[in-house]
Structure 1
């Protein structure tokens, strides 16, 4: 163990003791020997600072003291409401991603290192004071020689070794919890840490973020709904990103929005429309839509437009997930719980041997009390959250893409209700989903699907010929030791011609591909 690792372990243990997180561990049904080991820890015999009465607050304060990497982990953990108790998830959602900025000289040095030129040559103006500082990067304003105002995002120096060390300890703690507690095993702590590891290292690659922003901008080009700042690719590297500077109003500044006469109802409804457009039209949605990443344009307040930044975390769904999710939501609108249960089984989200009647009854018990309230008082995100928690009793596997989607929906819905308390998300979402489902089975879309299937025919035919050639060679392999086999070849008439001691072999080479094409066309038209 290195000195750095040992010091970090000591710090983690000190913070656990200070906020009495070990008391929370003792409240779990642990084996007797683990409880004894915890009770004998030296710090339990020393006077300690009184921990907050709220266990979620104690965990939040501990993560804040452990530093940026643990803060980021707490933020990610707060999105896993399908795994955490509500009180802990609510407290972790309060974590602020604000840390002291690193020195401007280091920021300048990193910009010059990755862009390969002095800052004075790259920019007409560079502002040393950081505009914002977060756990993995900080932002400086600047001006290009062409006169365009930009912002420069710079990854903090020396993060990677610290992240690897902290993640190693997180895996160790998660593994220990998973071994000693059945409740902890249900929460799958090692999977949560692995998910965090992937997320944090993806965020360290600003070229990935730039590509995401560029794609999102192209998806909504000339759209009145949302604007995504332009990426200046000539100035982008893995640790430096330069993009257009925006001057919108923070979406949480309700006074400024009201002062400019913003149509708050339209603003709230457009947020919902943007979400469903990204999920179902594009299958490419901004999955980090917390208020700090959303602004409102100062132009056309009567027809407000959002501005989105920080595209480091993006979610997507497969066409199958899109279809099942849309049909699930529409079944919810109609209170068709039988269909909801059957769709969960058909999609593979719950095991195929799940009893539909029992699952339907569990869903009804969750949904009916909620639907008795006025539609505007129903939280769509909370409904999905409770549904997923219910489905977990039927061994529903955690679907990462659905967790991201649920988190984003909760953010969008909460923000919409803050902007316009009477927001009826249902009346906004249902027409969109019904229109999307109709377009999926329209003649134009069916023709496109058929064309996509037809484009696969040459590839399928080639695969079929290769397979048949291999089968032919394998079938006559024993006889090859007696007499040589001539090389097989494919004639233009679609017959595979081979030779063995028994004479010529004539095998139709392309019929599997044509059969697959016909079957595929039938399924597309039937759907």
Structure 2
């Protein structure tokens, strides 16, 4: 993108406004001391100016600047507040204070949006509709209403032109990020273009209320058989990209429950239900609320926990869930060596990391939390992320969202019940997942899943071998081969082939649901896996130990 050649006057005007606000808060060294007419703001990298970024008040000035820049930058700041591994703990904590609120817009604008999006008049759509909003934020506002069928609902309406404003800001953000990454060496480690790309995906989902509708339906389905957790009902007929209509929640905000002495609130029970449900979202379902702060949780009758505002959700695939469960067990057991191995297996750490010093730092960290209570374990999680920042490790976004969510629900548990300990809840869930991962039935399922890959490999193997031999003959590949103990090598290969054949054959047998069964598995298939396991262990002990 080249702003100087653009004919879009709105982008020019907004860009100039951003320049002025950057200067107002003392960040002009990032953009230079120029105007758009002679624009080359990134040519200066004066060391004294860069050192200004180390000032003690930079986190506060950054927060105030984002607040002044408006909706898009407030949302960017809120995203960065969840990424202490990128911006550091001090800046992340300060940006978490950003207030996502704006003055409400008039009823005429709201009426026009609803009637345009839902293709009917408000009197026809709703039995009653409150003209005064019950809540307002930078992107939208919420009004109360009643459907023709009598259900009391909350209607969230997106403010007019907000999508155009966000698109304009994103265009400028990308330009600034690209130039800053190119010309300011001290900012290269942050990968600003990558941050803006991640932010664009996030905010595009947030302004698409159809996405939130699907999130609510998904989360409700996950808890359909749990009457202790409630997700508001949604009414798709009254929803669109810019309007979402959901059940009106007549409950008490969790933040108010903290201060309440009303005996109807069983705080220990609420803490247990809330934390268990959140771990279920992460480790069992792999679909979790990314912002479970007390304002997004209501308590209903009989201490039912209700999650609202499902605009931002985290999603974990099956493999990541299983790896994460193993990681959390190692983390809560203070098992440093295996923790490092697991992080490397998950491709979070690489061989470029100074493993020796990282191990030393991890041991120092865990020594401070030996025998820790709930709040201190949360501190250990924060310290782990700080260590990753120190070693310039880029953590997966979902990992950081998960860590932040766990920290929030730990705080909730402690506010409700000071004696509440999250570890006895977390460990059994994680161990159950690990046990299931290595069960014969799961292993058989895994082999069945990979059967097509095995088949394709076997089909293409002869062609690839012929291709390799052809290249050797043509002199394109040279091999220096020294064979020692040929018989021993042949025995190893033979035994490996036998084990592979047993595993593949057993996987086929596992797909048959007839004949003698044990634990819903065919006996022949089960025996095949057991024999394969014994032979595999024998191979490792006999040969590997002698190498």
Please confirm whether the aligned pair reaches a TM-score higher than 0.5, indicating the same fold: yes
- Give the match for residue 193 of structure 2: 190
Aligned counterparts, 1:292-303, within 5 A: 292-297=295-300, 299-300=301-302
1:448/1:326 CA distance change after superposition, 3 Å: closer
The superposition leaves residues 310-368 of structure 1 with CA deviations (integer Å, 9 ceiling, x where unpaired) of 11111122222222221122122222211111111222211146575544323212221
Q: Which residue of 2 aligns with 1:403?
A: 400
Using the TM superposition, give the Cα deviation of residue 145 of structure 1 relative to its aligned residue in structure 2, in angstroms: 0.9
Contact 2:410–2:422 (Cα < 8 Å) also in 1: yes
| Pairwise CA distance, 1:460 | 5.7
The one of 170, 177, 181 aligned to 1:178: 181
- 1:90 and 2:93 are equivalent in the alignment: yes
Paired with 2:463 and 2:123, the residues of 1 have a C-alpha distance of 64
1: distance between equivalents of 2:377 and 2:177? Answer: 32
Deviates more, 1:403-412 or 1:387-396: 387-396
- Residue 15 (structure 2) pairs with residue 18 (structure 1): no
Partner of 1:35: 46
Looking at structure 2, the residues matched to 421 and 123 of structure 1 have their Cα atoms a distance apart, in angstroms, of 45
In the TM superposition, 1:96-495 aligns within 5 A as 96-254=99-257, 257-297=260-300, 299-300=301-302, 304-352=303-351, 357-371=356-370, 374-380=372-378, 382-394=379-391, 396-442=393-439, 446-447=440-441, 450-451=444-445, 453-454=447-448, 457=451
Q: Deviations over 1:6-45 (max 9, x none)?
A: 211221122122222337899xxx9994339979xxxxxx
- Tell me if the contact between 1:291 and 1:415 (Cα under 8 Å) persists in the aligned partners: yes
CA-CA distance at 1:394 after TM superposition: 4.9
1:67, CA displacement in angstroms?
A: 1.1
CA contact (8 A) 2:374 2:410 kept: no
- Check 1:266–1:327 CA distance in 2 against 1; reply closer, same or farther (3 A cut): same
Structure 1 residues 256 and 333, CA gap change in structure 2 (3 angstroms) = closer
Matched with 2:36 is none
Relative to structure 1, is the Cα distance of residues 256 and 355 closer, same or farther in structure 2, using a 3 angstrom cutoff? closer
SS at match of 1:139: strand
The offset of 1:208, in angstroms, is 1.2
Return the offset for 1:281. Answer: 0.8
With 222-231 and 276-285 compared, the bigger mean Cα shift is at: 222-231
Q: Whole-Å Cα distance in 1 between the matches of residues 453 and 340 of structure 2?
A: 36
Contact 1:350-1:395 within 8 A present in 2 as well = no
Task: Output the CA distance in 1 between the equivalents of 2:56 and 2:352.
Answer: 44
Question: What TM-score does the superposition give when structure 2 sets the normalisation length?
Answer: 0.76
Say if 2:13 is the partner of 1:7. yes
Normalised TM-score (structure 1): 0.79
Deviations 1:128-147 (A, max 9, x none): 11111112221111111111
Instruction: Identify the residue that residue 493 of structure 1 maps to in structure 2.
Output: none
Whole-Å Cα distance in 2 between the matches of residues 452 and 324 of structure 1? Answer: 15
Q: How far 1:309 sits from its partner (Å)?
A: 1.2
Q: How many angstroms apart in 1 are the aligned matches of 2:164 and 2:346?
A: 41
Structure 2 SS opposite 1:218: helix
Rounded Cα–Cα distance in structure 2 between residues aligned with 1:230 and 1:151 = 10
Deviates more, 1:70-79 or 1:395-404: 395-404
Corresponding position of 1:489: none
Distance 1:163-1:470 versus aligned 2 partners, 3 A rule: farther
Q: Give the conservation status (yes or no) of the 8 Å contact 1:152–1:243.
A: yes
Cα gap change, 1:255 to 1:514, in 2 (>3 Å): closer
Contact 2:158 2:243 in 1 (8 A): yes
Counterpart-to-counterpart distance in 2, 1:357 and 1:255? 44
Deviation at 1:74, TM superposition (A): 1.0
Contact 2:316 2:398 in 1 (8 A): yes
Report how many residues are paired.
465
For 2:449 and 2:184, how far apart are their aligned partners in 1?
53
Question: Structure 2 vs 1, CA of residues 345 and 231 (structure 1 numbering), >3 Å: closer, same or farther?
Answer: same
